[in-house]
């Protein structure tokens, strides 16, 4: 019903509902959500940060403008007396769906059989479903964010011989590089029965589940090279869910909070090209009107922000 309303009518209804509920409700807007969603949010940020805001809020109802795994995370972190509401159950993260707990459970049997004398610690990224998070915890592993993945790996290597990282192979690979373990990774493709090489798994320190983010995977090293040629003044900040070559070609790599902070800390006149979900780049443009954003037609999620200028040049 809400989808068919025009924006003014929808806004009026949301505001009326918020007024009626008062402090009983807190509305969270993830960085990746569209303007029409984050405009109604009490807090905008990454999923872990928002879940903590919800837990600190004195509200019985938490409306999460985000995807299913985010609402689940908020439900885990908030008090039992708080109800977390996801407005649309259709809003899901394809990467989280690439590592279903049942499928991981079956793979776990094969992976542990391939390295019987070794302790394998499973680590799952925040971008995964609650039952997979529970599985990792039960197996002596943990959950990490993109900001603390390297710390999580170090924690795991103090306790075991290998890490199984789920579901994002790019974040796993980028973290392995950061820790100097790039030569000791193996990929686990759960959809390819031929692709599971027990020797490779036995030799590797880090086993990467073959999942990925469909948005961040669209950025290529050629895009960065092309951008640097057209805009030699541009600095590049990308998310660690991007491919290894893209991360290597960037000036700064970090979570959505780091990307936001990097752009906010930029000096007037600096140009930053942002490699992440397009809505975050658009929010940064809107929240800081002294900056201009350039959206490249070739790579729809690629944005360059020139700080402190008011003229559009491309």
Interface with ligand CIZ (CB under 6 A), residue from 33, 174, 235, 255: 255
**Closer residue to ligand CIZ (CB): 146 or 305:** 146
From the CB of 258, what's the least distance to ligand CIZ, in Å?
8
Query: Which of 25, 15, 36, 102 has the alpha carbon at shortest distance from 58?
Result: 25
Query: Which of 36, 90, 84, 49 has the alpha carbon at shortest distance from 67?
Result: 90
From the CB of 198, what's the least distance to ligand CIZ, in Å?
33
φ, ψ dihedrals at 164, nearest 5°:
-105, 115
Tokens 């049997």 belong to 109
Binding mask of the shown chain, residues 75 to 114, with x at each position contacting ligand CIZ by CB under 6 A: ----------------------------------------
Both tokens of 102, joined, read 């049942």
Under the binding rule (CB under 6 A), the answer on residue 126 touching ligand CIZ is yes
Is residue 166 within 8 Å of residue 210, measured between CB atoms? Answer: no
Interface with ligand CIZ (CB under 6 A), residue from 78, 82, 124, 127: 127
Under the binding rule (CB under 6 A), the answer on residue 146 touching ligand CIZ is yes
CA atoms within 13 A on the CB side of 71: 21
3-state SS assignment for residue 274: strand
Q: Binding to ligand CIZ (CB under 6 A): which residues in 16-55?
A: 46-48
Q: State the CB neighbour count (10 A cutoff) for residue 92.
A: 14
Q: Binding to ligand CIZ (CB under 6 A): which residues in 222-241?
A: 239
From the CB of 20, what's the least distance to ligand CIZ, in Å?
29
- Chain residues that interact with ligand CIZ, rule: CB under 6 A: 46-48, 126-127, 145-146, 239, 255-256
């Amino acid at each position: 019903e809400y989808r068919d309303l025009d924006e003014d009518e929808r806004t009026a209804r949301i505001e009326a509902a918020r007024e009626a509920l008062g402090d009983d409700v807190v509305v969270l807007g993830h960085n990746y959500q569209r303007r029409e969603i984050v405009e109604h949010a009490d807090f905008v940020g990454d999923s872990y940060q928002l879940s903590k805001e919800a837990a600190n809020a004195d509200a019985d109802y938490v409306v999460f403008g985000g995807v299913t795994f985010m609402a689940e995370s908020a439900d885990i972190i908030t008090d039992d007396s708080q109800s977390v509401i996801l407005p649309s159950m259709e809003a899901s993260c394809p990467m989280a769906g690439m590592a279903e707990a049942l499928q991981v459970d079956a793979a776990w049997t094969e992976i542990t059989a391939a390295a019987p004398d070794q302790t394998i610690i499973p680590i799952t990224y925040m971008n995964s479903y609650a039952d997979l998070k529970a599985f990792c915890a039960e197996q002596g592993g943990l959950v990490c964010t993109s900001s603390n993945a390297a710390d999580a790996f170090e924690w795991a290597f103090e306790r075991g011989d290998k890490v199984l990282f789920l579901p994002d192979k790019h974040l796993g690979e980028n973290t392995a590089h950061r820790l100097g373990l790039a030569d000791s990774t193996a990929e686990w493709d759960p959809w390819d029965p031929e692709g599971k090489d027990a020797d490779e798994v036995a030799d590797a320190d880090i086993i990467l589940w073959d999942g990925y983010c469909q948005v961040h995977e669209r950025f290529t090293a050629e895009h960065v090279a092309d951008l640097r040629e057209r805009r030699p003044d541009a600095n590049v900040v990308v998310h660690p869910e991007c491919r290894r070559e893209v991360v290597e070609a960037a000036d700064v790599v970090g979570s959505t909070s780091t990307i936001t902070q990097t752009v906010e800390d930029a000096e007037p006149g600096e140009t930053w090209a942002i490699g992440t979900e397009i809505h975050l780049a658009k929010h940064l443009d809107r929240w800081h009107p002294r900056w201009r954003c350039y959206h490249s037609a070739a790579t729809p999620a690629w944005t360059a922000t020139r700080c402190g200028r008011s003229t559009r040049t491309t």
